[in-house]
Structure 1
Amino acid sequence: MPRDDASGLEWLLFTQSGVLTWAQATAELTPARVRHLLASGRWQRVCRGLLRAAPDGPFDREQQWWVAVLAAGRGAVLAGLAAAQAGGLRGNWRYETVDVLVPHRRRAADLLRRLPLGLPAVRVRRVRALPAVDRQRGRPDRTSMARSLVDAAQWARTDEEAQQLLAAGCQQRRVTPAEITAVLDRMPRALRRGLIRETLQDVAGGAQALSEIDLVRLCRRHDLPVPDGQERRRDARGRVRYLDAYWRRWGLHVEVDGAHHLDVRQWAADLRRQNDVWISGDRILRFTAFDVRHRPDEVVAQLRAALAAAGWRP
């Protein structure tokens, strides 16, 4: 970080990841000095009116965000998936465009059509109103996590991707279903409203991962009892564990294995947890997330058989 006695320019470059406008640069340096830095290769011209205080080279993710916001002009804020990532959403999420919101009466800046190759495209979306509660100060300014996830979900390429984003935000404790619902209530024309509400209801009911949400919907569709949600237990070593889906009345536990279960250490831990469940007297079934989504008939048949064996009657 800059020292306490850092100049205005040093602080500006630090807070904006080295990206700044011509107006910002010439407010701290003379125009001749800025031209010299560009001519000497120490600074780079991103496009007309936009500079980077670094030699030519790839842009990191934060610099991409700053280019998008500064190029979009006054009042622009980072939005959608990029804003959610800036707010701390983890995961291997990829985007081909960086979304920004600008006031409705503003036109897209001409700079956006002149961005160099190697930078993601910038998609400007105009909004009539962006309440203060949906804005968040940051580096750069962005929409709140709840608003970012609603926007990311309605702009996602597929319904599944939209659900994954919502589930991940809640699972990582970046936002609550109630906060997302409050944003959705302020956006009556949002795309995928029904899908977003349904996903939030499942998340609030205890199904955190998308594969667990799919399991709940599978049960509803085939008139099977809906699981009670995640069950908190202590294993034989006293550590707190969470069961993916648990039918308390029938003592049936279902574990839905995602890709992380393929790790050897995770696999060994899963086996120990499965043994603890068996020792307690409960039944346990395990499915892969792929099975739940692509072999639903087989999953339903085994669920039905396990519940019936435990005393459930349709």
Structure 2
Amino acid sequence: MSRSFPLPPPPRRAEISPRRPERSIPADDADELTWLLFRQADVLTGTQARHHLGASALRHRVRTCRWRQVHRNVYLTHNGPVDAEQRLWIAVLGCGKGSVLAGLTAAIRCGLRGVRSDSIHILRPGGLRTITPPAGVLVRRTETLGGDDVNGRGLPPHTTNARSLVDAAAWARSDDEARMLIAAGFQQRLVGADDVHQVVHRLPTLRRRALILSTANDARGGSESLPELRYLRAARRAGLPEPSRQHRRRDSAGRVRYLDVYYEQWGVHVEIDGGQHLDVRRQWADMKRQNEVWIAGDRILRFPSWLVRDHPHEVITQVRQALQSAGWRQ
């Protein structure tokens, strides 16, 4: 019969932080066990504990409630609350040899901001025996988990920035969420150039392979937000010309400005306002009237991100009119 090891309820999603809680650094002459507990946030496997203390000492600490068993062969070396860092170590150690944090959990660990994870995601080599993971842990297997995919200095062990983002996108609940994760990785400078492509080419059976590659292509070309990516997809489907993205331009004061989407040959700018403009849809009515005036003049078009998402045909219609007014012929 399998034993259960109840823990306090999982932390709120916002508590799963990429930052490690402050712990006292051991003295230089501290013993191996003290340093091991420091590195692993006071979480040990039974094998590690027996190696440093012996089986009887381990049993005594558990029996006297100084330590407690939190999963099969995993021990917490105090009887207080379990913090977010310790939950990650319990997940990694509880899933056995070769296990690493992966997907969205690892991406947050690598520094990805603005996202949350309900579960702890673990990746294990495919050839290892099946295990029962700790509560709140999702385990996936892979045949590709070499040195290029694992952060060798990460604690707890986790996949690299690029592999974390690719797996998170593949495991995402929707295509839009997958696109957002890849775009955010580029926007926050966690990945660049060909990082994502190199990971994808090592994973021939990857879910959403084409979507991840196309999103990475657009993101490294300058479109690093989900509304811009949505606009580009709609514009391509409509047969509009390919624009430049994040085009540099100096304003009248000499300051460098970046244009979201710029059709340079026809002098048409498309600016997509982000989430801060989502509160009142009346703003779109004002924008639309302003755009209709600009179509015949300056050809600077602004759209709220919700309109790009929910009514892309309205956006494309006005951009097409602006391009045609500037001399473009489809």
Structure 1 residues 257-276: aligned runs within 5 Å: 257-260=273-276
CA RMSD of aligned residues (A): 2.5
Q: Does 1:49 align with 2:79?
A: no
User: Does the CA-based 8 Å contact 2:122-2:137 persist in structure 1?
Assistant: no
1:156 aligns with 2:172: yes
Question: 1:66 aligns to what SS in structure 2?
Answer: helix
Report the CA distance between 1:236 and its aligned residue. 5.7
* Inter-partner Cα distance in structure 1 for 2:249 and 2:78: 53
1:243 paired with 2:233, answer no
Q: Distance in 2 between matches of 1:283 and 1:13?
A: 63
Q: Is the 8 A contact 1:50 1:71 kept in 2?
A: yes
2:121 matched to which residue of 1?
99
Pairing of 1:1-314 with structure 2 (within 5 A): 1-60=25-84, 62-96=85-119, 98-110=120-132, 112=133, 115=134, 119-123=135-139, 125-137=140-152, 138-235=154-251, 239-260=255-276, 282-314=298-330
Structure 1 residues 297, 75: closer, same or farther in 2, change over 3 A? same
C-alpha deviation, 1:33, in angstroms: 4.1
Amino acid at match of 1:9: L
Q: CA deviation at 1:135?
A: 2.0
SS at match of 1:100: strand
Checking the alignment, whether the CA contact within 8 Å between 1:233 and 1:240 is kept in structure 2 is yes
Conserved 8 A contact 1:72-1:108 = no
In structure 1, stretches of 5+ residues that fail to align are 264-277
Partners of 2:233 and 2:167 in 1: CA distance: 24
In structure 1, what is the Cα distance between the partners aligned to 2:237 and 2:138? 40
Equivalent-residue separation in structure 2 for 1:11 and 1:238 (angstroms): 55
2:144 and 2:203 in contact (8 A); partners too: no
Q: Is the 8 A contact 2:42 2:77 kept in 1?
A: yes
Q: Measure how far apart 1:207 and its partner are.
A: 1.0
Identity over the aligned pairs, expressed in percent?
47
Aligned-partner Cα distance in 2 for 1:9–1:237: 62
Partner letter of residue 170 of structure 1? F
CA distance in 2, matches of 1:261, 1:254: 16
Report the 3-state secondary structure (helix = DSSP H, G, I; strand = E; otherwise coil) of the residue aligned with 2:245. Answer: coil
Mean alpha-carbon deviation: is it higher for 218-227 or for 41-50? Answer: 41-50
Q: CA deviation at 1:237?
A: 6.0
8 Å Cα contact 1:228/1:248 also seen in 2: yes
Cα distance in 2, alignment partners of residues 234 and 55 from structure 1: 61
The TM-score with structure 2 as length reference comes to 0.79
Q: Normalised by the size of structure 1, how large is the TM-score?
A: 0.82
CA shift for structure 1 position 32: 4.4
Instruction: Give the 3-state SS of the residue equivalent to 1:287 in structure 2.
Output: strand
C-alpha distance after superposition, 1:76-102 (max 9, x if no partner): 222211122222222223233x23222
Deviation at 1:234, TM superposition (A): 4.3
Once residues 235 and 38 of structure 1 are traced to their aligned partners in structure 2, the CA distance between those partners, rounded to angstroms, is 69
Contact kept in structure 2, 1:15 and 1:139, CA below 8 Å: yes
How many residue pairs align between the two structures?
289
